[in-house]
Chains A and B, each alone.
Chain A
Amino acid sequence: MKKVFVYLFLFISFIQAHPHTFIDVYPTLHVEGSKIVKIHIKWKMDDMSSAMLIMEFDTNSDGKIDEKENDYIYKNYFVSLSKYHFYMDIIVKNEIVTLPNPKNFKASIEENRVCYSFDIDKKYEVKGTKFDFYDKDFFVAMILKKEFVKVNNKVAKITGEDKDFYYMYRMELR
């Protein structure tokens, strides 16, 4: 009975949810020895959401994101995503670690899709490190497929994790 009430209230709190935006996640990892020394993440938003964003981002309508537009996106859109941990968690030895501030943010338009790319400037052990991609509010669905991952010397294992009222993709290296 207790579980029913917990689910009920979770259900109510997620009344605005169900994904409206889909983001393909393209991680590029560079491994040296037993450590992941470079992490580059690229998001590709779905075509329809991109059309809405391009209207606002590409102010001079040249089909590109220039430096000024990039700054605007960074300050007004990207930074505010820190409260959602940039839709990712890094887990080391089963503990979520503080996500460093993403560096080298760059927005672009590729084949009508808005892309964000950034670096995570920290080194992690290959063994025992996991990367989770999700939006706990489920407004955005983060999509991670094996073919989206680029990594040297190691193989990425992608699994789906069922959470209460949202779905999450997990990546770990083998």
Chain B
Amino acid sequence: MTYEKFLRILVEWQYELNSYISSTIRSLNDENSLSVFLSILFVSFVYGAVHAAGPGHGKALVAFYFTSNKSDYKKAFQMGYMISIIHAISALIFTFGIFFILKTMFRQNFNNFSQIAMQISAVMIMCVGLYLIYEAYKSRKDKDKIVKKVQKSMVVVAFSAGVVPCPGVMTIVLFCIVLQQFILGVLAAVAMSIGMGLTISLAGILSIAINKKTSGKLREKRYILEIVGALLVFTLGLFLFLSSSDLR
């Protein structure tokens, strides 16, 4: 299957899931509440997993990060879920904040705040890239010594990727707020973020698997792969920074 066909399937699934979630939330009433409530959470989880499979959401960042790092699969899950937790918190703060404090111009305020968050995220990603380049170069002879130090940058990477609120999550939360379903809004954001975390983790796992395979072949020259991964992290931050000035 080509990437484009994969994209078509993703669009069609998201279209159906989006429509299912909105119509089901509207159909919530006292008689069907629990079963419908749970089905919305489950579909939100699936929607999150499918949604994050498309371009964006820090998968490239996570993949490049693990290219420049010696890690195990557990770390990929940790990273994915750290991003999803931050993603959910960020989306909830932005949505509730804009809705209840600023009250009007939701879309314009959302664009303005997203732009600022994206620029902060981009600068952080570039800093992580530079840090990884430095560590990879410094440790070209004895890399095991710095493994622990580099792992700390995981939190920074997770924060950088997660701090930009996902418009998809925010839209669901806002929709629930408008329909006075506040608890459902919070839980749907969490369910969707967990789904996204799963997909992001898979990007990390794939990168670690490739890293393990290639590091055996590269042996002493492994630091070159680490520097390439770190450069890609930096480039990603740079592109994000440049593109953040053209938000819709």
CB < 8 Å neighbour of B174 from A7, A8, A52? A52
Within 8 A of A (CB), among B1-34: 2-5, 7-8, 10-11, 14-15, 18-19, 21-23, 26
Evaluate contact between B4 and A17: CB separation under 8 angstroms: no
Contact A167:B107 (CB < 8 A) given known A17-B54, A17-B56, A48-B21: no
Q: Is B214 an interface residue (CB 8 A)?
A: no
Evaluate contact between B106 and A52: CB separation under 8 angstroms: yes
In the complex, which residues of chain A have a beta carbon less than 8 angstroms from the beta carbon of B244? 16
Nearest-neighbor residue (CB-CB) of A76 within chain B = B108
A positions within 8 Å CB-CB of B = 7-9, 11-20, 22, 46-49, 51-53, 55-56, 112, 137-139, 141, 143, 160, 162-167
Evaluate contact between A55 and B178: CB separation under 8 angstroms: yes
In the complex, which residues of chain B have a beta carbon less than 8 angstroms from the beta carbon of A52? 106-107, 171, 174-175
In the complex, which residues of chain A have a beta carbon less than 8 angstroms from the beta carbon of B26? 47, 112
- Say whether chain B's binding surface is mostly helix, strand, loop, or mixed: helix
In the complex, which residues of chain B have a beta carbon less than 8 angstroms from the beta carbon of A49? 171
B114 to chain A, nearest CB (A): 9
In the complex, which residues of chain A have a beta carbon less than 8 angstroms from the beta carbon of B179? 51
In the complex, which residues of chain A have a beta carbon less than 8 angstroms from the beta carbon of B11? 19, 141, 167
Evaluate contact between B236 and A15: CB separation under 8 angstroms: yes
Chain B count of residues within 8 A CB distance of the other chain: 46
Evaluate contact between A48 and B8: CB separation under 8 angstroms: no
Q: Is B39 an interface residue (CB 8 A)?
A: no
Evaluate contact between B171 and A162: CB separation under 8 angstroms: no
Q: Is B239 an interface residue (CB 8 A)?
A: yes
Provide 14 A-B residue pairs closer than 8 Å at the C-beta atoms, listed in order of the A residue. A11-B55, A15-B55, A16-B56, A16-B118, A19-B14, A20-B168, A20-B171, A22-B14, A46-B19, A48-B21, A56-B106, A141-B14, A160-B8, A165-B7
In the complex, which residues of chain B have a beta carbon less than 8 angstroms from the beta carbon of A11? 55, 60
Contact A167:B239 (CB < 8 A) given known A47-B22, A48-B172: no
B positions within 8 Å CB-CB of A = 2-5, 7-8, 10-11, 14-15, 18-19, 21-23, 26, 51-52, 54-57, 60, 104-108, 118, 167-168, 171-172, 174-175, 178-179, 232, 235-236, 239-240, 243-244, 247-248
CB < 8 Å neighbour of A13 from B57, B178, B232, B243? B243
In the complex, which residues of chain A have a beta carbon less than 8 angstroms from the beta carbon of B171? 20, 48-49, 51-52
Evaluate contact between A46 and B107: CB separation under 8 angstroms: no
In the docked arrangement, what's the CA distance between A160 and B8, Å?
Answer: 9
Evaluate contact between B243 and A15: CB separation under 8 angstroms: yes
Evaluate contact between A18 and B19: CB separation under 8 angstroms: no
Evaluate contact between B7 and A51: CB separation under 8 angstroms: no
Question: Shortest 9 CB-CB distances between A and B: which pairs?
Answer: A18-B54, A162-B4, A47-B22, A14-B55, A20-B167, A48-B175, A17-B55, A12-B239, A48-B171
